[in-house]
Structure 1
Amino acid sequence: MAAPRNLMGESGRLLRDEENPASEEDDSPSGKKPKSERFPLTRWEFFVALGVFFILSIGLFCIYLTMPATDYVKLKLPRNLSDLRMLKDHLASYAQDYPVQFILGYCSTYIFMQTFMIPGTLFLSLLAGALFGAIKGLLLVSFNATAGASSCFFLSKLIGKPIVGWLWPEKLRFFQSEIAKRRDKLLNYMLFLRITPSLPNLFINLASPIVEIPFHIFFLATLIGLIPATYITVRAGLALGDLKSVKDLYDFKTLVVLSLIGFLFIFPIILKRKKIYE
Structure 2
Amino acid sequence: MGKGEKSNGELEAVGSKFPLSFKEVATASTVVFGFVLGLLCVYLTMPASDYSFLKLPRTLEDIQILRYHLESYTSDYTAQVLVGYCAVYIFMQTFMIPGTVFMSLLAGSLFGVLKGVALVVFAATAGASSCFFFSKLIGRPLLFSLWPDKLEFFQAQVAKRRERLLNYMLFLRLTPTLPNTFINFASPIVDVPYHTFFLATLLGLIPAAFVTVKAGLTLGELQSIGDLYDFQSIATLFFIGVVSITPTLTSVKEKQYMAVYLPVDYTNKCCSHWR
TM-score surpassing 0.5?
A: yes
- Cα RMSD over matched residues? 1.3
Runs of 4+ in 1 over 3 A off after TM superposition: none
Residue 128 in structure 1 maps to residue 113 in structure 2:
no
Counterpart in the other structure of 1:264: 243
Residues 251 and 168 from structure 1, CA distance in 2 versus in 1: closer, same or farther, beyond 3 angstroms? farther
Counterpart in the other structure of 2:130: 151
CA distance in 1, matches of 2:169, 2:31: 28
Counterpart in the other structure of 1:138: 117
Deviations along 1:102-140, whole A, 9 cap, x unmatched? 111111111111111111111111000000000000000
CA distance in 2, matches of 1:57, 1:76: 14
How many Å apart are 1:46 and its aligned residue? 0.7
Q: Report how many aligned residue pairs link the two structures.
A: 246
Residue 115 in structure 1 maps to residue 101 in structure 2:
no
Counterpart in the other structure of 1:28: none
Counterpart in the other structure of 2:261: none
CA distance in 2, matches of 1:34, 1:82: 44
Q: Tell me which of 32, 37, 41 is aligned to 1:58.
A: 37
Residues 157 and 34 from structure 1, CA distance in 2 versus in 1: closer, same or farther, beyond 3 angstroms? closer
How many Å apart are 1:34 and its aligned residue? 6.5
What percent of counterpart residues are identical?
A: 59
CA distance in 2, matches of 1:250, 1:39: 39
Higher relative contact order (CA 8 A, sep 6+): 2
Structure of higher CA gyration radius: 1
Gaps of 5+ in 1: 1-32
Q: Tell me which of 31, 40, 50 is aligned to 1:71.
A: 50
Task: Report the secondary structure of 2:36's partner residue.
Answer: helix
Counterpart in the other structure of 2:219: 240
Residue 191 in structure 1 maps to residue 170 in structure 2:
yes
CA distance in 2, matches of 1:125, 1:118: 14
How many Å apart are 1:247 and its aligned residue? 1.4
How many Å apart are 1:35 and its aligned residue? 4.9
Scaled by the length of structure 1, the TM-score of the pair is: 0.86
Letter of the 1:208 counterpart: S
Deviations along 1:32-73, whole A, 9 cap, x unmatched? x96513221111101110111001111110111011012111
Task: Report the secondary structure of 2:27's partner residue.
Answer: helix
Deviations along 1:52-103, whole A, 9 cap, x unmatched? 1001111110111011012111111221111110110000000000001111
CA distance in 2, matches of 1:274, 1:205: 28
How many Å apart are 1:274 and its aligned residue? 2.4
How many Å apart are 1:253 and its aligned residue? 3.0
